[in-house]
Structure 1
Amino acid sequence: MLPLLDGLRLPTTKVLLTTETFASRVLPPLACSFATAFLVLLPRTQPVRIALWPITAILAFRAATSLDMSMEQPDLTFLNMQLQVSSCIRINCHTVQLISQISMFLIAARTLEWTVQTKPFVRTARPSSTDVPKQNLVLDTIDLICTARGCGWDWSQGLYIPPETHPTSSRLAFATSVLVSGLKHLFLCGAIHSAVRSFSPDTFGSVDGGTIFDDSLPPHLRYLRSSIITTLCAFTIYSLLQAGYEITVVICVLILRQHPDQCPPSFDSPWRATSLREFWSRRWHQWLRRVFIFFGGNPLYLLFGRVGGVMGAFLVSGFIHHLQVLPFDPSSEMWRMMLPFGMMGIGMVIERAVSGNKTGGWIGWTWTMCWLVLWGNVMVDGWARTGLFGSSSALDSATPVRQPIERLVRTFDEYLHAISRKP
């Protein structure tokens, strides 16, 4: 009993990530997560899951608050963010990535949903590949652990899967096409991130952080500049998530012999959205959709109906994004994430009240992009103040066009300040 109590004791100081601390701090909550996933596939196991969840939650909290993955280097603080809350780069392929699957918050959150589930989860669709067995509890457990969207499971009703754009005639053709796309997105991520940091390398482009709003510029130029930064940040995030997912898909298909239909696309050209509803429910990734619905959408739907369901999902999203920035700046104000995500929900309510589900065309596109950029300014400014953009990136230094991009951004910034001084 004493060793168990020692293992559950919450830490007072952080320790560096080593093989020993990984085994003692990270593996226990992972093991509990696998055990809960296995049990939720079996009938009459809820009492065991109820007894197991508090232990899982304590172990996950202990790991998130006790490990320092930055190796005491400020430029690597983003690794602690990945430990505590991750975007689950790996989706629906049978593998466990260190960065994505040791997200301690998501382990606690997902196992709670599995704990309250009264009936066993059921796979409604399986890969078309003939070399995959029809039923296998072990493989189903791994798939449940690794899938965030729930492709092929009964709990993912209403999930939108983007159409496949890569050739599926063979694994090799599919993997080659995905690899080329992944490398392209890696390049774009490094190039755009370099551009963002170049706007202000001594403030929000450094680990010290700072605002994206330049008070030395008049309002119209100030918000033009911040909106450009916000748009570039959006494409940086998109490129990073796409690259991580696509490179993982290549590994899963070529090495782990997964079928291409187990790795559907995550994004569907978000910049083409003609409504906020289309953007958030179809074109942006749906990796955390289930968490948002379970913790926010469903409870507030019961209390306030459809409007409450929409607002609840976005408020949970804002809270999770707030948790992500705490490793960078523990004093970060929660409203900087809650406000913009809450306004996304309000925007969807306004959209439905004005036009129902018929928003479209260039008017719908303009409305969507303006609303996203408007409140994206607040969100990106919140990230910038924590020093998130100052984290070191091998992609930046490896980008061959980094120096021309930096010169171009500096020239543009100098031009804005020059015209602001004209009478």
Structure 2
Amino acid sequence: MTASGATAPSSISSFTGAKDFIHMKGEETLLDGVLSGIMRAFEELIPPHASRQPLSAASLPIALLGPSFPFLFLAYLARRADTHLIRLLVLPSAVASALYFTYHYKIEDPRYRIFEFIRFLVCYYMIGKSLNFAFVRDGRFKIGEKRLRRVNEVDPESGVDPALFPPWLRDGFELVCALRGIGWDFGRDVYIPPRTTSTQKGRFLSDATMSLIKHFLTVDLCDSLIKLVPGVGSPEGGSLFLADLPLHLRYCLSTATHILVGMVVIFGLEAGNDFVSLVAVGLFRSSPETWFPLYDSPWRSTSLHQLWGNGWHQLLRHMFLSFGGYPGLWLAGNAGMVLGAFLASGLYHELGLQMSDHRVVLFFLSQGVGILLENRYKRYTGKSVGGVVGWCWTFFWVVFVGQICTDAWAIGGLPGAVLVPRELSIVRRLVFPAMRYLAQYNASQ
């Protein structure tokens, strides 16, 4: 199955098989009707890939706003007292709208496959957070809050124009953007990287703008270099491992490409964090003190513990613990918690590819195995993994083992898809032509 494929047809086939089984048993009245109804509802919610509508400029606002309103409304209710029952009632519409408006559209052009990948990641993020907003009984508190306001209760300390930004939009947007939970009850134990921007609003906006430009240029350079790799750099996709190259060159190129893809992820997310912080602080008057970098120099990590606990971003930490780590803890103790959290992470990233390559899950599970091996090492030696040896150990698990994940994405066409449009690419429009001109000039001398 390709990255743009869908799992719905196989699921529908299973429904049909179950229906045939019921006919064979002679129980074809009530159960047959129930099963047929479930199948029709499933097809309506998640239609087969061939039945989905191409996402166009006309349908884009519907695809974006359709799931956003119930999701934001649910987040707003999570910031209001005595709304638990209402949130439970709103939950089905929030989940159904996320699935409906994601699966009813498709981006067929392989050049924009990365945006299809992001659409599905956002869909499952909405579902995960919606479940959390609905089931937390007392709502979501900021650290230090003693009570939540009731519905329609005015915030006397709010300096935001209520006509421009109604309370439900401001409160919902603030909670939705608090992915790491910094300053919130669900993010008490999250690691916070050192601050790189001023806490004074004017300076913060200036610092964040410069940071956004720096991160964009880095992404532009890395993305432009990836586009030069045969196969990987094309929208149709191709393996990292070029069979035509000698073995040593093949793995040198795959390693370099893998590192470039990692840098695109790191600096691309940092650029997104810069942009969201500018909107939150500049328009919604969020406090600059709640905005920090996403990463803490992951390339300096000397253990997998340090990498995944401190160096890497913690955007989805709470969701992965909720849906994998805590159930794993209940089933198999601390080891189950580690593997459960990484299993949840792997499934989430594979769902972005619509379950087309299970090596994505295998990579994330392997990181959990590496952390358990570090725990075993510490138990027997009394020392933590670290130093130069620890850095090499981490490099092996992330850079060498991690290539199975990047290869899955490369075959799916993600690295070769449009990330920075050529019209906006400074590297491809200015730097590369200048380099070619200088090379030709020197050759002619």
Q: Do both share a fold (TM > 0.5)?
A: yes
CA contact (8 A) 1:296 1:313 kept: yes
* Cα deviation, residue 284, structure 1: 0.9
1:141 is the counterpart of 2:172: yes
Deviation of the 1:186 alpha carbon: 0.9
Question: Equivalent residues in 2 for 1:79-228 (5 A)?
Answer: 79-85=115-121, 103-124=122-143, 138=168, 139-168=170-199, 170-200=200-230, 203-228=231-256
Aligned length: 372
C-alpha contact 1:149 1:159 (8 A) present in aligned 2: yes
1:360-417 per-position Cα deviation (integer Å, ceiling 9, x unaligned)? 222211211121112211111011101112212435543132357899xxxxxxxxxx
Give the C-alpha shift of residue 248 in structure 1. 2.9
What's 1:358 paired with? 384
Distance 1:226 1:345 in 2: 23
Q: Report Cα offsets for 1:40-89 as digits up to 9, x if no partner.
A: 33444333322322222121111110123x4x53212222222221xxxx
SS of residue in 1 equivalent to 2:191: coil
Q: TM-score, normalised by structure 2?
A: 0.76
Alignment of 1:5-404 (within 5 A): 9-10=44-45, 12=47, 13-17=51-55, 21=59, 24-68=62-106, 70=107, 72-85=108-121, 103-124=122-143, 138=168, 139-168=170-199, 170-200=200-230, 203-326=231-354, 332-333=356-357, 335-355=358-378, 358-394=384-420, 397-399=425-427, 400-403=430-433
Check 1:20–1:401 CA distance in 2 against 1; reply closer, same or farther (3 A cut): closer
State the shift of 1:131 in Å.
6.8
Deviation of 1:38 (Å): 2.8
Distance of 2:288 and 2:280 partners within structure 1: 9
Over the matched positions of the two proteins, sequence identity in percent amounts to 29
Question: Unaligned stretches of 5+ in structure 2?
Answer: 1-39, 146-155, 161-165, 438-445
CA contact (8 A) 1:301 1:309 kept: yes
**Displacement, 1:220?**
3.4
Contact 1:194 1:406 in 2 (8 A): no
Amino acid at match of 2:237: G
Q: 1:218 to 1:395 in 2, by over 3 A?
A: same
TM-score (norm 1): 0.80
Give the gaps of 5 or more residues in structure 1.
Answer: 86-102, 408-423
**Within 2, Cα distance between the matches of 1:309 and 1:105?**
21
Work out whether residues 198 and 406 of structure 1, in 8 Å CA contact, stay in contact via their aligned partners in 2: no
Say if 1:190 and 1:395, in contact at 8 Å, map to a contact too.
no
Q: What is the SS of the residue equivalent to 1:152?
A: coil
2-side partners of 1:241 and 1:80: how far apart? 17
Structure 1 residues 236 and 131: CA distance shift in structure 2, 3 A = same
* 8 Å contact from structure 1 (residues 230, 380) kept in 2: yes
In our comparison, the structure showing a higher alpha carbon Rg is 2
Shift of 1:143: 1.5
1:257 Cα shift?
A: 3.5
- Structure 2 CA distance for partners of 1:46 and 1:293, relative to 1, 3 Å: same
**CA shift in 2, pair 1:405/1:111, >3 Å:** farther
Paired letter, 1:81: F
User: What is the rounded CA distance, in whole Å, between the counterparts of 2:180 and 2:436 in structure 1?
Assistant: 37
- 1:305 counterpart letter in structure 2: G
In structure 1, C-alpha distance between the alignment counterparts of 2:436 and 2:323, rounded to whole Å: 42
Cα contact 1:182–1:247 (8 A) shared by 2: yes
1:118-171 Cα distance to aligned partner (Å, 9 max, x none): 233211158xxx97579x964443321221111111111211111102233x32
CA contact (8 A) 2:133 2:139 kept: no
| Residues 358/189 of structure 1: CA separation in 2 closer, same or farther (3 Å cut) | same
Q: Per the alignment, in what secondary structure is the counterpart of residue 123 of structure 1? A: coil
What's the offset of the Cα at 1:17? 4.3
2:132 maps to a residue whose letter is: E
CA pair 133-171 structure 1, distance change in 2 beyond 3 A: closer
Partner of 1:390: helix, strand, or coil?
Answer: coil
Stretch of structure 1 that moved more, 239-248 or 155-164 = 239-248
How far the C-alpha of 1:299 sits from its partner, in A, is: 0.6
How far does the alpha carbon of each residue in 1:340-369 deviate from its partner, in whole angstroms, 9 at most, with x for none?
111000001101111357222222112111
SS in 1 for 2:415: helix
One-letter amino acid of the counterpart of residue 365, structure 1: W
Corresponding residue for residue 13 of structure 2: none
Q: Distance in 1 between matches of 2:109 and 2:177?
A: 30
